[in-house]
Amino acid sequence: DQQVKQNSPSLSVQEGRISILNCDYTNSMFDYFLWYKKYPAEGPTFLISISSIKDKNEDGRFTVFLNKSAKHLSLHIVPSQPGDSAVYFCAASEPSGAGSYQLTFGKGTKLSVIP
């Protein structure tokens, strides 16, 4: 059973426009959420995160929004650039006992930014 879902496998956006990547989760114990960016044949790199006590976190062109009641988060990229073309993974963290946490990843959304 998938606890973190990215329902759009791919997304195409024109350069300069906004990219919105969505992520839904089912586990109400998740209390920290992260977005990772991954280029082909490379490891993912951390992009931005948000704690469950917040509803928005912004870092430059990247903003993550969290709607706890809907168990939904989204990543906004404005303006989108061709270099943003990559696979974006949503991840969620929950306590797993003895002060440790477990990270669960979604399947990813491939973003293509068209020049």
Partner 1 sequence: DGGITQSPKYLFRKEGQNVTLSCEQNLNHDAMYWYRQDPGQGLRLIYYSQIVNDFQKGDIAEGYSVSREKKESFPLTVTSAQKNPTAFYLCASSIGQGIGELFFGEGSRLTVL
List residues near partner 1 by CB under 8 A.
4, 6, 9, 31-32, 34, 36, 41-46, 49, 51, 89, 91, 93, 99-103, 105-108
Identify the helix (H) or strand (E) that includes residue 77.
Answer: strand 72-77
CA distance 55 to 64: 8
For the bound state, the minimum distance from the C-beta of residue 106 to partner 1, rounded and expressed in Å, comes to: 5
For the bound state, the minimum distance from the C-beta of residue 101 to partner 1, rounded and expressed in Å, comes to: 5
CB closer to partner 1, 18 vs 58: 58
For the bound state, the minimum distance from the C-beta of residue 32 to partner 1, rounded and expressed in Å, comes to: 5
Beta strand spans in 15-60 (E): 19-25, 32-38, 45-51, 56-59
Q: Is 108 exposed, middle or buried (0-12, 13-18, 19+ CB in 10 A)?
A: buried
CB closer to partner 1, 106 vs 113: 106
